[in-house]
Chains A and B, each alone.
Chain A
């Protein structure tokens, strides 16, 4: 206690700054009042989960520069108005003379640099405009996946004159006009993401490039832009990252423009551009010998010798993805000759990849960190051996559907690749417990996917659990032999587990779930088809895993209402839930939907015990905050028009199945 008192607030703040993890910061806050005070005055960012605390939080954290409201339901124009009610005075000096402005209440707006409003459904342009006007220092705005946003919202965003970073992915209403507003209003823009803004065309992009010269990052993925846009982009001197993923109207002619322009280009993604061929990619390569990342997944038919030849010039290339192309052994061989620095290679779904090709590829690329060999069906343990032997620094290896790989391969991995953090062995059906034992030597493993590996059992899982303490993601989808004992081992040692998939591991019972409930950090649990699990297991889970945000209980038919009540009572952080084919009743559903104030996405198919009135009530209970709901089509005409209209007017998307 004396030590703590000896530390000044300044020193505490310095220590505090080194805390990166949210749980650590929470622990800090709980130490004492002084620590809590340090937290509140020095905390730079805040991510609000429930709107009811927003106002008090903003008053407390006066120094925040980043406000994230993306996981907070029920943000609308009215909320914003109330939040800013004090701020309005600040900008009308005439009022000052009558009522002195309450600076304490509005302090946060003056410092705010970053605003995250993605996935917002209730907010409209007037609220956004108020927010943007109130925050003069704004540099970054994220309104991605706000599907109702359009030109008016863009006009509101464009009032942030100092804006440097803007994400508007999937703002479906955004057109060239809105983009023009932004281009004119925010001339200092450096990062702009317009993925899935389907209405944007060449004219808008052209104007953007004429007005925002300092653009460094531009994402135009899936837009209907043509070569004309690339012609407009070419003069951007500072552009470093360009993504034109899935722009099917762009072809080699457009890439030629890029090849001749954009002198600072470092990263380019031309994946899924169907009209692009290797000659277009060569023309980019010719113009930019400093290219660091080149992604051309599912664009190329074949890796031609001329392409590989031209790649020689790219001395700085670190990442290269040609997923889906035909890659012959000899083309892979010439890769390894040319790239000593290459750290990332994507060859997923490439045809013609053999052991020989992989052996030749990795022989020269000792710095490889990421290797994606998803669906390279014909590679064997021999390839895995050479990969492990040559690339000792490998951190991520994806071997999904490389079904010939056996425990031998894992032995090599466990022997040489001790830095491995991520391994995907989905559908490698020859993997057995022995293999997992070898693999468990990779103690840094964080993500392990073992879905559909039928041969592994609790024994193997125990090996992993005992050695890989850092694991945070584990996929055991349809590993039918896994039972409660495996989960016991897991829960006792892998305390950092956040994402767990135990769907269709039908041997798991309530006991297993009790073990799982000891995983305090668990946020995503996929437990489909656990027919042996009853309300007891669920109650334990709900009581233990307070952080649970995503829960999939499809086909958990043995769970009755008391289980759901427990969920409704304890799992206040639940955001997504799948209750399809469960035995929930009207009452249970109403409790769930009404009580879970953070719930945003619910899948409610084939609930045999729920009546139409039950649905009606449940939807009414959550209609102010739910963003997505999935219902059977037959309900479409049985539910009252009123509730459907209310949901729609709140921006909720109903998927009829």
Chain B
């Protein structure tokens, strides 16, 4: 593990511009199982006081970090580097274990890794060269430094892409956890992210982080494990199981998505399209796009003004999830078991249903109340009509559901309604059935489009497992590989290669970890 040596050296010389490349080089081999790395492998090191210290500092000194790295950053760096040799070894072990679980040849994985190792060696040599030269010429022109940096970044990129493709081809379905750290590492330097922004790749990264009042530097500040110290996650095993059981739709790993929180007024406003920067609401998306021009030149391009092509762009886009502004709600991001909401419409419906008065009353039965008018309309379709009733008193809106129920429970029979006017209703219900199916299909499309639910929940588990990390068996579980899913998919779906998908991840990560802790600290 030559790269680790380099880390040591880097720590000694403390060159600002080297840090990103070193950071990358460290993490590259780790990427396939990044979560493991951050969460479990070297827990004792992470509990190091300086690290904890670091965690506190994130909020206060992040803005200075990239310009004048202070001692804390350095010490953290060194702390990390001391442990990294072991980490990487363990990392590979992890990968091998995963391999077994997945039923592929661990030897092939080993070959791939050694190939990557070779590549990293080459890069290491290059960096060595630069370092030695730098020792000689202290007064280096910015231009030269920039060139070197770009050179290394390019190399690193190719390594990352290689690594992803190996990992991706072996592990068929993951995305977000990895994008976070890698991209973040790349985004560490403002220069780079600016370069990327100019090339149109890192657009989202900067924008989104800006929208939350943070420069791209936020990302720099937050080390991948910023909030992974045990003190931040007091969850223990039983709760983890609870999370498992909760089938509340998707369960994305924290940090794999960006959290947006609208204010109550915005939610109740009659708008459906909201500016992600200033939060202003619009009835039409076209108006929103016109509005976006005011936020900067990048929104004035014909591409930005054109109707968003969902097929291509959204795949690479950062996943957005929403938080309910109601404190203490499970859908609120501060909740211990936060369950994000998927869309703005979800937010609106959730907020109205859960935290608002039910002001719409069914005019037929005069008993059912609703806070969302669509719910009322749905109810009114059925209200007063014969339901499919079982002898046990359970009602069903559909005949097949009732028959399924009867087939399941011994002795239950359908109850015969008083007046026999079923014919028409039967037809109606058939129509609704097909409608329902259509909905379901839509949902499933959305679903696969976004992520796989179990994937998320499993990653969450890994995060949670930190609490019980003393148990060595806990982090040997094969769940880890799931976290690569979406990463690899992005890698293959995106024709531009490795970079475009790395950027959103970086911001994402910054948002989740740094951003949140910032909020709470400030």
A residues lining the B interface (CB < 8 Å): 150-152, 155, 158, 173, 175-178, 180-181, 184-185, 203-204, 206-207, 210-211
B residues lining the A interface (CB < 8 Å): 399-400, 403, 406-407, 411-414, 416, 420, 422
Q: Which residues of A contact B399 (CB under 8 A)?
A: 176, 203
Shortest distance in angstroms between A174's beta carbon and chain B's nearest beta carbon? 11
A130 to B18, CA, bound (A): 95
Shortest distance in angstroms between B389's beta carbon and chain A's nearest beta carbon? 10
Instruction: Decide: A177 and B416 in contact? CB cutoff 8 A.
Output: yes
Instruction: Decide: A150 and B406 in contact? CB cutoff 8 A.
Output: no
Q: Which residues of B contact A177 (CB under 8 A)?
A: 414, 416, 422
Looking at chain A's contact residues, the main secondary structure is: helix
Instruction: Decide: A180 and B420 in contact? CB cutoff 8 A.
Output: no
Kindly identify which residue among A155, A158, A173, A211 contacts B407, using a CB–CB cutoff of 8 Å.
A211
Q: Which residues of B contact A181 (CB under 8 A)?
A: 413-414, 416
Shortest distance in angstroms between A434's beta carbon and chain B's nearest beta carbon? 61
Q: Which residues of B contact A210 (CB under 8 A)?
A: 407
Instruction: Decide: B416 and A158 in contact? CB cutoff 8 A.
Output: no
Q: A180-B406, A207-B407 are in contact. Are A185 and B413 (CB under 8 A)?
A: yes
Shortest distance in angstroms between A28's beta carbon and chain B's nearest beta carbon? 46
Kindly identify which residue among A152, A175, A184 contacts B412, using a CB–CB cutoff of 8 Å.
A184
Q: Which residues of A contact B412 (CB under 8 A)?
A: 184
Shortest distance in angstroms between B402's beta carbon and chain A's nearest beta carbon? 8
A150 to B420, CA, bound (A): 10
A178 to B399, CA, bound (A): 13
Instruction: Decide: A175 and B422 in contact? CB cutoff 8 A.
Output: yes
Q: Which residues of B contact A176 (CB under 8 A)?
A: 399, 403
A110 to B400, CA, bound (A): 39
Residue of A with least CB distance to B411: A184
Q: A175-B422, A184-B411 are in contact. Are A155 and B403 (CB under 8 A)?
A: no
A181 to B422, CA, bound (A): 16
Q: A180-B413, A180-B414, A184-B411 are in contact. Are A206 and B420 (CB under 8 A)?
A: no
Q: Which residues of B contact A185 (CB under 8 A)?
A: 413
Instruction: Decide: A155 and B416 in contact? CB cutoff 8 A.
Output: yes
Instruction: Decide: A207 and B406 in contact? CB cutoff 8 A.
Output: yes
Shortest distance in angstroms between B432's beta carbon and chain A's nearest beta carbon? 16
Instruction: Decide: B407 and A151 in contact? CB cutoff 8 A.
Output: no
Residue of A with least CB distance to B391: A184
Q: Which residues of A contact B411 (CB under 8 A)?
A: 184
A203 to B422, CA, bound (A): 15
A211 to B414, CA, bound (A): 14
A158 to B416, CA, bound (A): 13
Residue of A with least CB distance to B403: A203
Shortest distance in angstroms between B79's beta carbon and chain A's nearest beta carbon? 65
Shortest distance in angstroms between A150's beta carbon and chain B's nearest beta carbon? 7
Q: Which residues of B contact A204 (CB under 8 A)?
A: 403
Shortest distance in angstroms between B437's beta carbon and chain A's nearest beta carbon? 16
Q: Which residues of B contact A178 (CB under 8 A)?
A: 416
Residue of B with least CB distance to A204: B403
Closest 3 CB pairs of A and B: A177-B414, A184-B413, A203-B403
Shortest distance in angstroms between B423's beta carbon and chain A's nearest beta carbon? 8
Residue of A with least CB distance to B390: A180
A-B contact pairs, 19 of them (CB 8 A): A150-B420, A151-B416, A152-B416, A155-B413, A155-B416, A158-B413, A175-B422, A177-B422, A180-B403, A180-B406, A180-B414, A184-B412, A184-B413, A203-B399, A203-B400, A204-B403, A206-B403, A210-B407, A211-B407
Residue of B with least CB distance to A150: B420
Residue of B with least CB distance to A206: B403
Residue of B with least CB distance to A158: B413
Residue of A with least CB distance to B409: A184
A181 to B407, CA, bound (A): 11
Instruction: Decide: A184 and B422 in contact? CB cutoff 8 A.
Output: no
